[in-house]
């Protein structure tokens, strides 16, 4: 049995996010273009002889009990397979928290993958995904990673060709956005067709390998709610565009904003401006990264 497993859990951005309808059960039907980025949390998993799941995390404000998604992911599989040993999980967070980058879902996905490996449960990727959706709608995608179309509540996934590489700037302002608030205040009947992003346009651009087509069609219907409440998000988008981004968008329900850049030099200058220059008041967390694709 492998005694120790070190894993990376990558964050995601949405190149496109559309909400089609609210279902009777409260879930929303979405159509999203998901893209993994090169910012990751680190997880160390180790079985221990005494039963129970222990979680350690470098961020003091995150829960280490069953409210942490890593705990829930481990418990789900360990209960189902009646595993008598325990598991220790050490989590080092680098993905911004409550940011629209699916950090918690990605951690949970890594734990499902890791528990399956450590305890030799023999579950296929598909079987892990079926269990993952019980923890969170984005967990199946976080198991799959790369560029993908996500439909249903997020569990119907179609892998796409890797999006063409380009430097990305990610900025998270120091505000807390509740995903629940955003979805509750999304009134689809009050929106016009122009508020819906052109997901098919992004799909075509990805299949054609055209980053300019992706940049032109970036769109997130949740901006209609989040930006109205938090204008700083629009300010960050405008700042990125002024500094040479070919497109900029809020990820998920926010407040993280990303910008796509034409080359490394422009991206680095924009990063320095937002990190240290006169726009450094907009966001405390600023990262220069790129798309993470599976063939990397």
Cα distances (Å, whole numbers) of residue 272 to 240, 249, 268, 288: 11, 19, 6, 10
* Residues 206-225, mask of contacts with ligand ATP (x by CB under 6 A): --------------------
The binder of ligand ATP chosen from 68, 147, 217, 239 (CB under 6 A): 68
Cis amide prior to 255 (ω within 30 degrees): yes
Asked whether residue 101 is marked as a ligand-binding residue, the answer is yes
In whole angstroms, how close is the CB of 42 to ligand ATP at the nearest point? 12
Q: Give yes or no for residue 239 binding ligand ATP (CB under 6 A).
A: no
Does 12 participate in catalysis according to the annotation?
yes
**Which residue's beta carbon is nearest to the bound ligand ATP?**
104
Distinct helix (H) and strand (E) counts, the chain: 10, 11
What gap in Å lies between CA 279 and CA 67, rounded to an integer? Answer: 36
Given the complex with ligand ATP, which of 105 and 220 has the nearer CB atom? 105
Say which of 12, 93, 172, 237 is annotated catalytic: 12
Does 208 participate in catalysis according to the annotation?
no
Q: What does the chain come to in residues?
A: 296
Q: Give yes or no for residue 157 binding ligand ATP (CB under 6 A).
A: no
Q: Is 68 exposed, middle or buried (0-12, 13-18, 19+ CB in 10 A)?
A: buried
Beta strands in 113-266 (DSSP E): 147-152, 156-159, 167-172, 219-220, 247-250, 257-260
What gap in Å lies between CA 92 and CA 59, rounded to an integer? Answer: 8
In whole angstroms, how close is the CB of 98 to ligand ATP at the nearest point? 4
**Footprint of ligand ATP on residues 5-44 (CB under 6 A)?**
none
State the catalytic residues: 12, 138
Q: Enumerate the known binding-site residues.
A: 96-106
- Residues lying near ligand ATP in the complex (CB under 6 A) are found at 62, 67-70, 97-105, 107, 138, 179, 252-253
């Amino acid at each position: 049995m492998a005694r120790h497993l070190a894993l990376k859990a990558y964050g995601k951005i949405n190149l496109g996010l559309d909400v089609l309808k609210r279902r009777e059960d409260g879930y929303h039907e979405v159509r999203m273009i998901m893209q993994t980025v090169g910012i990751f949390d680190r997880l160390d998993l180790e079985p221990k002889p005494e039963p129970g799941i222990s979680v350690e995390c470098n961020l003091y404000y995150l829960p280490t009990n069953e409210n942490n998604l890593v705990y829930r992911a481990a418990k789900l599989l360990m209960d189902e397979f009646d595993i008598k040993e325990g598991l220790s999980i050490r989590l080092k967070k680098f993905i911004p928290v409550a940011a629209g980058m699916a950090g918690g879902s990605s951690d949970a996905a890594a734990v499902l993958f890791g528990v399956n490996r450590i305890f030799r449960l023999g579950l296929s990727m598909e079987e892990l995904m079926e269990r993952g959706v019980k923890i969170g709608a984005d967990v199946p995608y976080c198991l799959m990673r790369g560029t993908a179309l996500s439909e249903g509540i997020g569990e119907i996934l179609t892998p796409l060709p890797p999006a063409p590489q380009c430097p990305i700037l990610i900025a998270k302002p120091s505000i807390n956005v509740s995903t629940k608030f955003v979805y509750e205040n999304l009134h689809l009947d009050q929106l016009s067709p122009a508020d819906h992003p052109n997901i098919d346009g992004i799909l075509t651009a990805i299949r054609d390998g055209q980053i300019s087509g992706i940049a032109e069609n970036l769109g997130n219907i949740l901006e209609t709610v989040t930006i109205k409440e938090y204008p700083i998000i629009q300010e960050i988008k405008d700042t990125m565009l002024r500094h040479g981004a070919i497109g900029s968008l809020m990820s998920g329900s926010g407040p993280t904003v990303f910008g796509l850049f034409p080359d490394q030099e422009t991206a680095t200058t924009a990063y320095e401006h937002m990190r240290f220059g006169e726009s450094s008041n907009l966001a405390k967390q600023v990262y220069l990264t790129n798309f993470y694709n599976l063939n990397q």
